[in-house]
Amino acid sequence: MAWSNFILTLAGVGAVVWFMKSDVRKSSTMVRQNLKTIRGWLEEQQASNGGAGSTLKQEPKQVPESKPKPDIKKTD
């Protein structure tokens, strides 16, 4: 009885490993295809916007510093 349980357990674990291995391969292939598609979309969008990266690299405008006003005390 112990040997049959051991063999069934090994068979079950082997089946799970085999199914997971094929599932991981399919998932990684699908992820690669999705990344290629998204990269293509981003390149198309950048080309249609005239290079979106150039707008992101603009430096913020400098605000001129205001000089503090001198304290003038009036004495009457």
CA dist list (Å): 49 to 35, 37, 56, 66 = 21, 18, 12, 37
Q: 7 lies in a domain?
A: yes
* Pair 52, 46: CB distance under 8 Å: yes
Q: 63 lies in a domain?
A: no
Q: What does pTM read for this prediction?
A: 0.44
Give the CB-side neighbour count of residue 6, counting CA atoms within 13 A. 3
Closest CA to 17 of 7, 9, 5: 9
Give, for 65, the enclosing helix (H) or strand (E). Answer: none
Q: 15 lies in a domain?
A: yes
Q: 9 lies in a domain?
A: yes
Q: 72 lies in a domain?
A: no
Q: 74 lies in a domain?
A: no
Q: 70 lies in a domain?
A: no
pLDDT score of 37: 94
Using one digit for the tens of pLDDT, what is the confidence trace for 22-59? 888 889 899 999 999 999 999 999 888 875 455 555 56
Domain region containing 43: 2-47
Q: 58 lies in a domain?
A: no
pLDDT score of 35: 94
pLDDT score of 64: 64
Q: What one-character DSSP code corresponds to residue 75? A: -
Using one digit for the tens of pLDDT, what is the confidence trace for 5-26? 999 999 999 999 888 888 888 8
